[in-house]
Structure formats: structure tokens, C-alpha cells
Amino acid sequence: MKALRLTLLVFCISFVITGVSFSGDAVNMVRNPSFEDGTGEWQLLITAPAAAKWEVAKDGVSGKCVQVSVTAVSGTSWHVEIHQSGQVLKLGQEYTFNFWAKTLEGEVRVIQPGLEGIGGAGDWWQDTNINDKWTEFSKTWNQGLAGNSTIHFAVAQTKGNFLLDHVRLYEGKYQKEELGKDQVKSVEFKEKLATTWGNIRKSD
């Protein structure tokens, strides 16, 4: 019994040290969501003449994060993008997608988070303003088809920096996290503001 209590105590201390706690029982479908394993499980796609590089940084919302530095643009947002595929979604299930984003100090820019494979009215993309304060963004929807999804972050709109951390995709409604530093209120994407991937492709 003493050994069991000691094990539980060590687990609790370790959990507190990470600076993150989760409410409810949400199971995150995103692999390496906080970049603790570097950029593993993620891809950085670059289409010339756009140019960019990425690296893992230490100053995330709970530890590490990834920083993308866009050094040349082409006029097409998805010519620099981070993505991860392979999240299996169920028809009719409610899902929530969250992520934390910011720029470097003094920068303001637009990014374009997106989800392919969500069904219904089509794949979802949306222009999103970010600044130099960590902010959480979230979207909740009812899944319109069964199959695989792909998470995208298109960032080639302008030169500059984009920091990303703590990406989540899980069943059910939004679940708040308590993180180990000051937080900005979560921003919920409104359905009427969304832009489909097809429309973006046509405009580019």
C-alpha cells in the first residue's frame, strides 16, 4: 500500500510540474501536440517562391512550442503550411479543435488554420488574426462524414513569425485547460465566418 501511495504521489507531482491540467476525460487525437518530441509527426510544406524554416522553441504555453519563420511569400497562404493527417473521425460525432498561437513581440499577422475531411458544408479554413500574446482558438462541430481528417496551418500570407503550441482535437464540447502561465481568453470560431478550402483554392 505504501508503494502504491508513493507511486501516486510521484505521478501527481510530475503532472503539476508540467504546468498543464485537463478537465473532463477528453482524449487528444493529435500526435505530439505540444512539440515535446520536436517536430515529429508534423510536416512543414513549402512551395517556392515562398520560403520558411521552423524550429522548436522553449517558451510555449506549457513548455515547448514550434516557431515558423516565413522569409519569402508568394501571395498564396498555403505555400507555407504545417500539417498533420490521420485523425479518424466518426459520422455524427461532435468534435472540438483547439490550438494556441502567437507572434514574436511587436508582430501582428494573419494565419489560416484549417481542417480537411470534416464533411457537412465542406472543409473548413478561416483567416485568423494573432498578436504577440498567447491566445487559444477553438472550433466545435458535428462531423458530417466518417473518415480521416488533416489539420493545417497555412501561414504564407506575410513575412514574419508564427508560434504554435498545444494543438488538440477531441470528442465533445470545448474543455478548458489550466496552464502554467497567464492565459488569454479562448476565442471561438463562428461558423458564419468560416471559408471552405475549395473557395480558398479558387481565389489563389
pLDDT at 187: 85
Q: List the chain pLDDT tens, one digit each, 204 residues.
A: 555 454 444 444 333 333 344 445 789 999 999 999 999 999 999 999 999 999 999 989 989 999 999 999 998 999 999 999 999 999 999 999 999 999 999 999 999 999 998 876 568 899 999 999 999 999 999 998 899 999 999 999 999 999 999 999 999 999 988 775 555 567 888 754 344 333 333 333
Torsion of CA 170, 175, 180, 186, to 10 degrees: 100
Other Cβ atoms closer than 10 A to 17: 9
For 54, 99, 174, 175, 186, the CA distances from 23, given in Å and listed in that order, are 31, 16, 10, 6, 15
pLDDT of residue 84: 97
Yes or no: say if 116 and 150 are a contact pair by the CB < 8 Å rule. Answer: yes
Closest CA to 153 of 115, 191, 187, 184: 115
pLDDT at 130: 96
Just give the CATH number of 22-175+183-203: 2.60.120.260
33 touches 168 (CB < 8 A): yes
Query: Residue 89 gets which letter from DSSP?
Result: E
pLDDT of residue 24: 55
- Which DSSP string corresponds to 97-141? EEEEEE-STT--EEEEEEEES--TT--EE--EEE-SS-EEEEEEE
Q: Are 42 and 83 in contact, with CB atoms under 8 Å apart?
A: yes
Predicted TM-score (pTM) of this structure: 0.80
Give the three-state DSSP class for 66. Answer: strand
Residue ranges of domains in the chain: 22-175+183-203
CA dist., res. 78 & res. 37, Å (int): 25
pLDDT of 120: 61
pLDDT score at 73: 95
Contact 134, 183 (CB under 8 A): yes
